[in-house]
Amino acid sequence: MIGWRQVAVAYEGKRVLGPMTLEVQDGEWLGLIGPNGAGKSTLLRAAVGVVEHDGDISLGNGRRRMGLDVAWMPQRPNLPDDMSVADYVLLGRTPHIGHFGTENRDDLESTAAALASLDLNDLSHRTLGTLSGGEAQRAVLARALAQEAPVLLLDEPTANLDIGHGIEVLEVVDGLRLKEGLTVVTAVHDLTLAGRFADRLVLLSHGAIVAEGTPSEVLTEELLTAHYGPGIRVIAEVDGPTVVPVRRSNDR
């Protein structure tokens, strides 16, 4: 479980988020959607302590132990070129290792499991600089999974992935969520994809929550055009709503 209570963030005196209140239950998948600059990333960054915020952010037992209780996959991670995939994923175990300590067998096993779950075994000795965008994305997710935190915050986990790998990666996350009871919060730009995986969607706009509910409640033409602009069509399908773009100028 993770909760934001009256959380507000300002950059250089300019308010970019909140104050907003949001709670995600154990085992729930919450999808954050909203146009660029709506505050999705900021919401996640506040939760892992990389931006200062007002208000409270609580994790299950109340106290927030960064890295141990919550794992974060950044939108633009730093990927040291010469580091191997295996060593990179191993760094995800940092919260479990004392400041001056080294990895024990548990750490190595968790790392191996994270690598295997994202099908990275064959790439484990490759350096990060040689990976394709999609491979690097999987390595970053593997590092977050290696943390074995009960709450997983994923900022654009499918950004560099083709549609097939995108679905595959989200399936892996969903499988772990069901198996380990993880709480998942994602910020995803692809609205259809967000709706397919999330139990609940939260639509952010200009730093505030403007809609909240099941994918079919939030992914409506009315709400989306109000916040993203015109040119959006929503088609209802058995699996849930499908959002398709429509050209705004029809002068052909």
Partner 1 sequence: MSQTSTPTLIAPARPGRPALGIAVAVLGVAVLGGLLVGPARIDVGGAIAALYDAIPGFESAHGLTEVEQRVLFDIRLPRVVMGALVGAVLALAGAAYQGVFRNPLADPYLLGVAAGAGLGATLAFAWTGNEALVAPLALAGGLAAVVVTYTLGRSVGGRTATSLILAGVAVAAFATALQTYVLQRHVESIREVYSWILGRLVTVGWVNVLALLPYAVVAGAVLVAARRLLDVLGLGDEEAIALGLNVTRVRWVVVTAATLATAAAVSVSGLIGFVGIIVPHTIRILFGWSYRVIVPLSVLFGAAFLVIADLAARTLVAPGELPIGVVTAFFGAPFFLIVLRSLRRAS
Output 30 or 142, the one with its CB closest to partner 1: 142
Spatial distance between the Cα atoms of 177 and 154, rounded to a whole number of angstroms? 13
Output 32 or 209, the one with its CB closest to partner 1: 32
Helix (H) or strand (E) holding 165: helix 163-180
Output 99 or 248, the one with its CB closest to partner 1: 99
Residue pair 187/156 in contact (Cβ under 8 Å)? The answer is yes
Shortest reach from residue 51's CB to partner 1, in Å: 9
Shortest reach from residue 50's CB to partner 1, in Å: 4
Shortest reach from residue 203's CB to partner 1, in Å: 25
Shortest reach from residue 100's CB to partner 1, in Å: 4
Q: How far is CA 49 from CA 54, 64, 89, 172, 226, in A?
A: 12, 10, 21, 26, 32
Output 23 or 106, the one with its CB closest to partner 1: 106
Tracing tokens 């595959």 back to the chain, one arrives at 168
Shortest reach from residue 211's CB to partner 1, in Å: 28
Tracing tokens 């209570």 back to the chain, one arrives at 5
Site residues (vs partner 1, CB under 8 A): 45, 48-50, 65-68, 71-72, 74, 77-78, 80, 82-84, 86-87, 90-92, 94-95, 97, 99-103, 108-109, 111-113, 115-119, 121-122, 124, 147, 164, 168
Q: How far is CA 229 from CA 170, 222, 232, in A?
A: 27, 10, 8
Name the phi and psi angles at 74, rounded to 5.
-70, 155
Output 127 or 220, the one with its CB closest to partner 1: 127
The structure tokens listed for 218 are 């939030």
Output 112 or 208, the one with its CB closest to partner 1: 112
Shortest reach from residue 248's CB to partner 1, in Å: 36
List all residues 6 or more positions away from 182 whose beta carbon is below 8 Å from its beta carbon. Answer: 27, 150, 151, 152, 173, 176
The structure tokens listed for 36 are 């660029």
